[in-house]
Structure 1
Amino acid sequence: MAKIEGTFENSSSFRVAIVIARFNDLITSKLLSGCLDCLSRHGIDVNESSNQLDIAWVPGSFELPIISQELARKGKYDVVITLGAVIRGDTPHFDVVVSEASKGVATVSRETGVPIIFGVLTTDTMQQALERAGIKNNLGWSYALQALEMASLMNAMS
């Protein structure tokens, strides 16, 4: 029986792209900070002059899939991380954005073979979003860990 799993030992050689939504940037910027902290602690150069990391800003979470697709198709990234925050309001807009963003990201990952991490918070309130972006726990860190594990796992599969 073969046991195949990702590790965090050789992550310093990975190329990572982050696609981040500007909408709810109070939340997404905190997710980005957590994400960058994790990547840095695992050997990824996160400085402005880095050749291991690219960050693309999009207007909102609905636009995450199209830019993730463009980056994944370039063939230069081991993994793409999407970061966004969709907070429920009084209209069905929340459901549409969450549904299309999640389906779009999943489709891009399957079609390109590049792992795309779905780092979009979907919460009922701003307080819940703030708690997940750093007050209690910064999920940006977790999304980065998932990215490193998936990049490692995909390398192990080839």
Structure 2
Amino acid sequence: MATFEGLFTQSSSLKVGIVVARFNDLITNKLLSGCLDCLSRHGIDVSANSSQLDTAWVPGSFELPLVAQSFAKSGRYQVVITLGAVIRGDTPHFDVVISEASKGISAVSRETGIPIVFGVLTTDNMQQALERAGIKNNLGWNYALQALELGSLMQKLG
């Protein structure tokens, strides 16, 4: 029986694309910072002139799937990370945005065979979002770890 697992070790050959929603950028900038810190500590060059990492900004979480699809289809990346923050309000807008973003992101991954990490916070209020983006724990770090593991695993599965 074969067992396949991804690793978190130095990933100098992994190419990563990150798509970040500008809406709620107080939160998404913190997620991106945590993500970049993790990638850097695991051997990914995150400098401005990196050949391993590209970042694209989109207006909001609803637009994440389209650019994630463009990244995935380009053939330049082994893994794509999507970062966003959708905070519940008084209207059904929250439900629509998060539903379409999650369905779109998962569809892109299935259609392209490229792992897409779903790094979109869904919270009831700003305090919860801030806690998940750095006050208590920065989930951007976790999303980067998921990307490293999936990228490594997919390389092994070849």
**TM-score category (smaller protein):** over 0.9
* 1:24 paired residue number: 24
Unpaired segments of 5 or more residues in structure 2? none
Q: Equivalences for 1:96-115 in 2 at 5 Å?
A: 96-115=96-115
User: Size of the alignment, in residue pairs?
Assistant: 158
* 2:146 paired residue number: 146
Deviation at 1:9, TM superposition (A): 2.3
Deviation at 1:15, TM superposition (A): 0.4
Q: Does 1:38 align with 2:55?
A: no
* 1:81 paired residue number: 81
Deviations 1:38-82 (A, max 9, x none): 000000000001010000000000000000001100011010000
Q: Distance in 2 between matches of 1:94 and 1:34?
A: 24
* 1:127 paired residue number: 127
Q: Does 1:93 align with 2:61?
A: no
* 1:13 paired residue number: 13
TM-score relative to the length of structure 2: 0.99
TM-score relative to the length of structure 1: 0.99
Deviation at 1:13, TM superposition (A): 1.2
Q: Does 1:67 align with 2:67?
A: yes
- Where has structure 1 moved over 4 Å in runs of 4 or more? none
Q: What SS does the aligned partner of 1:118 have?
A: strand
Deviation at 1:10, TM superposition (A): 4.3
Unpaired segments of 5 or more residues in structure 1? none
Q: What SS does the aligned partner of 1:156 have?
A: helix
Letter in 1 for 2:69: Q
What's the C-alpha RMSD, in Å, of the aligned pairs? 0.6
Q: What SS does the aligned partner of 1:13 have?
A: coil
Deviations 1:121-144 (A, max 9, x none): 000000000000000000000000
Q: Distance in 2 between matches of 1:121 and 1:13?
A: 29
Deviation at 1:12, TM superposition (A): 1.8
Identity of aligned residues (%): 76
Letter in 1 for 2:66: I
Q: Distance in 2 between matches of 1:34 and 1:3?
A: 30
Deviation at 1:93, TM superposition (A): 0.2
Deviations 1:67-121 (A, max 9, x none): 0001100011010000000000000000000000000000000000000000000
Q: Distance in 1 between matches of 2:90 and 2:148?
A: 37
